[in-house]
Amino acid sequence: MIISPSEAAVRLQQGDVVALPTETVYGLAGDATNPQAVARIYEIKRRPADNPLICHFASADDVLPYVVRIPDDTRVLMQAFTPGPISFMLNIPDHSPLLFATCGSRQVIVRIPAHPVFQQIARQIGVPLAAPSANTSGFLSPTSAAMVEADLGRYGVVVVDGGPCAVGVESTIVDARSSGLVRILRPGAIGAEEIRSILPRADIEIGSAVAAVPGSRYRHYAPATPLVAISADRLPQLQPGALLLHTEELLTTMRERMPPALLEQVRLFSLGSISNITELARNFYYNLQQVDRIGAPTAYVLVPDWGTTSLGKALNDRFNRMLAAAG
């Protein structure tokens, strides 16, 4: 069911959980300081109990009372990129009201989304919002209200429809607590290049997130249909099923390499055009979700060269996780 932003604010104040739009992906939000709301998020998502929740705020000023401090490099990056698609690891004090959301960890990850609807609601209620992506744990992050309803509607989850997400992949997570060192724990639309432009002297590490970000241990970001990566020269040997590819491949390689009889037995799904990575990211999870609808035994993917932009690298990361999850 779709509800209005003001209705969502009322429900959140009562300790209910609602799905909200952000510019990256939709989040399943609840008052991060309310243990019942936090517990409900874990229950709906069937999320492992040791996987902490990102906490969302309307502004950097709103973050201050909840953290030990905002270190200098973090502050500089916050000023440059928030509100926006980036999250920061920070320390919280003993007895913090956020300890439910962090699973008892003294570190929190904070995010300040730019989406106007999210901003409006966060400002209205004035408490931090715990909001993991609004999907069943282990499946695709939703980038529209319809995707949230398709996954979580059966649990009575209500959604504020803020339109399709402008970015389409989850926020970059950074640890910029030590001066002169920025660790990227999860790649996203804001990457090393953008960070370097703001902190030219900092060392930037693309960290293995596994130790730092518990969510990366779990099966993650995957469609239900097993994915198999293939190269163009294997197209002629394809088994009937689904094939995902970007539009340039559709128009060239595939037509040249696939016998027409085989082509008839393969359902094609477009990832979008590789020449427009912004658009491709926006439609990424939606396109992958479409594959599940036909119930093919396998979805083959003609692996694109995602390019070297931060967004391209983030898509490559998500994609490699999906392939790892598939086997």
Question: Which residues contribute to the site for ligand TXA (CB under 6 A)?
Answer: 22, 24-25, 27, 51-54, 87, 102, 105, 107-109, 111, 131-133, 170-171, 173, 212-216
The reply to whether 74 sits near Mg ion by the rule CB under 5 A is no
Which residues touch 160 (CB under 8 Å, ≥6 apart)?
2, 3, 4, 5, 8, 18, 19, 20, 21, 117, 121, 145
Report phi then psi at 2, rounded to 5.
Answer: -90, 135
Please confirm whether the linkage preceding 35 is cis (ω < 30° from 0): no
213 makes contact, choosing from Mg ion, ligand TXA, none, with CB < 5 to 8 Å by partner type, with ligand TXA
Output the smallest distance, CB 72 to ligand TXA, in A: 21
322 makes contact, choosing from ligand TXA, Mg ion, none, with CB < 5 to 8 Å by partner type, with none
The reply to whether 216 sits near Mg ion by the rule CB under 5 A is no
The reply to whether 133 sits near Mg ion by the rule CB under 5 A is yes
Tell me the number of residues near Mg ion by CB under 5 A.
1
Q: Measured between alpha carbons, how far is 42 from 325 in angstroms, rounded to an integer?
A: 21
Output the smallest distance, CB 60 to ligand TXA, in A: 16
The DSSP result for 234-302, as a single string, is GGGGPPSEEEEEEHHHHHTHHHHHS-HHHHTTEEEEEEE-TT-HHHHHHHHHHHHHHHHHTT-S-EEEE
Residue with CB nearest ligand TXA? 215
**Closer residue to ligand TXA, CB minimum distance, 54 or 244:** 54
Output the smallest distance, CB 123 to ligand TXA, in A: 16
- Cβ-in-10-Å burial (0-12, 13-18, 19+) of 255 comes to exposed
* Residue 102 token pair: 């962090």
Which residues touch 155 (CB under 8 Å, ≥6 apart)?
44
**Closer residue to ligand TXA, CB minimum distance, 131 or 302:** 131
**Closer residue to ligand TXA, CB minimum distance, 27 or 312:** 27
- Of 158, 155, 137, the closest CA to residue 42 belongs to 137
Output the smallest distance, CB 212 to ligand TXA, in A: 6
74 makes contact, choosing from ligand TXA, Mg ion, none, with CB < 5 to 8 Å by partner type, with none
Q: Is 109 helix (H, G, I), strand (E, B) or coil?
A: strand
111 makes contact, choosing from ligand TXA, Mg ion, none, with CB < 5 to 8 Å by partner type, with ligand TXA
Report phi then psi at 206, rounded to 5.
Answer: -90, 95
Residue with CB nearest Mg ion? 133
Output the smallest distance, CB 77 to ligand TXA, in A: 15
**Closer residue to ligand TXA, CB minimum distance, 205 or 248:** 205
Binding site for Mg ion (CB under 5 A): 133
